[in-house]
Homo-oligomer: A and B are copies of this chain.
Amino acid sequence: MKPLRVALLGCGVVGTEVVRLLNEQSDDLAARVGVPLELAGVAVRRPDRVRAGVDRELLTTDAQALVTRDDVDIVIEVIGGIEPARTLMLEAMKSGKSVVSANKALLAEDGATLFAAAREYGADLYYEASVAGAIPLLRPLRESLVGDHVQRVLGIVNGTTNYILDQMDAHGAGFSEALEEAQALGYAEADPTADVEGFDAAAKAAILAQLAFHTPVTAADVHREGITEVSPADVAGAKEMDCVVKLLAICERVPEEGGRNGRGVSVRVYPAMIPRSHPLASVREAYNAVFVEAESAGSLMFYGAGAGGAPTASAILGDLVAVARNLRGGTPGPVEVTYAKLPVLPMGETVTRYYIQLDVADRSGVLATVAEEFARHGVSIQAVRQVGLGEDAQLVVVTHRAPDAALTSTVEGLRNLDIVREVASVMRVEGED
């Protein structure tokens, strides 16, 4: 039986693991696909670097030549970033290869170009590894829930920030201190920007929203706030509310009177409080978990390790077997359909709730003045509580659900009130309906 031949682009932590699994599991993979899978070549930038278990004969610096070689059937891309990954994947599909990728940044920025190429050349493009490591999430959304009507995806999809927030919650650490610890343990990179500013989570949110709502969504459409501004006061305030602060990726339909699809979708990433009784609250350390709410299926949760060489390689190998089977069958799998084309609504139109902590003057009539400011913006208050006395008095206000624009202008208005010394903490509240 003629083997299917695989080209690997990139051989870092994930790539090395892919090579190891291809070698160690070759008998099992052959039985599952129906023909053997063979490594045809590995494109790297530095061929002299030692990579345990990787045959040096297979290394090449000419990725361009590798992806168009006649003896290559499937290309696995684990270089990451936009270029040259995009050009190489397009070239590969153009020459009839199937592609498996773990590249969330590229898929979220320019998935449309890649899907168009897949459609044009009848090639497979699978990318389960791009979101939440080995947790099966894209395939369930793409296939298991394809006959259902997804209402919301709510998840923790970045392990680095979850580790940092978990440390802040568990030990009262400040952001910088927790970040340093995460870096020391290898959970955060030397330049942590992509994680702590929410870029990584936003790319994943775009990919999830596109699949969930059959609507084109790019990373640029995603409202994004990172965790660098999360203070010990925010975390302590959450604790008093019996909540915990998590960086959430939220994709949801914005309801419409009488309409079923909603008048648009909201896709956003920000730190928010969720009740400790919510299943996402107990996701500790660098783990990931994603809630999916669908009309018929109800609430589903998917949980596991969201990153790391071996879990990411597991997702890649799953996709590899799938595209290999499709090649044997002679028919590619389904290409993403974004027929619904719902608008991605601006953050101001998204409906959410705020927790606001105010340092206020010790004066009579303070509560009335504050309440009036909320009313002026049409925001209704769910609960208010005064903490401390006299000069140390604080007001904690939790709102009902309101458009984010009204909530932010309320906060702006509060800042301008004489009796408000400081807006000490503002945090959205999610996970309760």
Complex: A287 Cα to B139 Cα, angstroms: 22
Within the complex, what minimum Cβ distance (angstroms) separates A189 from chain B? 21
**Which of the listed residues A145, A279, A313 has the most CB atoms from chain B within 10 Å of its own CB?**
A145
- Number of copies of chain A assembled together: 2
Q: Are B25 and A147 in contact (CB under 8 A)?
A: yes
Partner of A139, one of B143, B297, B337: B143
Q: Please, how many residues of chain A have a CB less than 8 angstroms from a CB on the other chain? A: 59
In the assembled complex, A364 has its CB within 8 A of some CB on chain B:
no
Complex: A284 Cα to B390 Cα, angstroms: 46
Within the complex, what minimum Cβ distance (angstroms) separates A259 from chain B? 13
Within the complex, what minimum Cβ distance (angstroms) separates A131 from chain B? 12
Within the complex, what minimum Cβ distance (angstroms) separates A329 from chain B? 4
Partner of A144, one of B25, B128, B279: B128
Complex: A350 Cα to B129 Cα, angstroms: 35
Q: Which of A84-92, A247-255, A318-326 contacts B (4 or more CB under 8 A)?
A: A318-326
Q: Are B304 and A145 in contact (CB under 8 A)?
A: no
In the assembled complex, A305 has its CB within 8 A of some CB on chain B:
yes
**Given the complex, which residues of B lie within 8 Å of A168, measured CB to CB?**
none
| Contact mask for chain A residues 148-169; partner B; CB cutoff 8 A; 1 contact, 0 none | 1100000000000000000000
Within the complex, what minimum Cβ distance (angstroms) separates A5 from chain B? 16
In the assembled complex, A136 has its CB within 8 A of some CB on chain B:
yes
**Given the complex, which residues of B lie within 8 Å of A140, measured CB to CB?**
136, 139-140
Complex: A207 Cα to B47 Cα, angstroms: 46
**Given the complex, which residues of B lie within 8 Å of A144, measured CB to CB?**
128, 134, 136, 139, 315, 318
In the assembled complex, A314 has its CB within 8 A of some CB on chain B:
yes
Partner of A304, one of B139, B143, B299: B299
Look across to chain B and name the residue whose beta carbon is closest to the beta carbon of A308: B298
Look across to chain B and name the residue whose beta carbon is closest to the beta carbon of A322: B143
- List A residues 275-330 near B (Cβ within 8 Å): 279, 282, 294-305, 308, 310-311, 313-322, 325-326, 329-330
Within the complex, what minimum Cβ distance (angstroms) separates A319 from chain B? 8
Q: Are A334 and B325 in contact (CB under 8 A)?
A: yes
Q: Are A303 and B304 in contact (CB under 8 A)?
A: no
Within the complex, what minimum Cβ distance (angstroms) separates A129 from chain B? 10
**Which of the listed residues A28, A148, A297 has the most CB atoms from chain B within 10 Å of its own CB?**
A297
For this complex, 14 residue pairs linking A to B, each with C-beta atoms less than 8 Å apart, are A32-B214, A128-B144, A134-B145, A134-B297, A144-B318, A147-B319, A148-B317, A282-B282, A296-B317, A298-B304, A298-B311, A300-B304, A301-B302, A330-B330
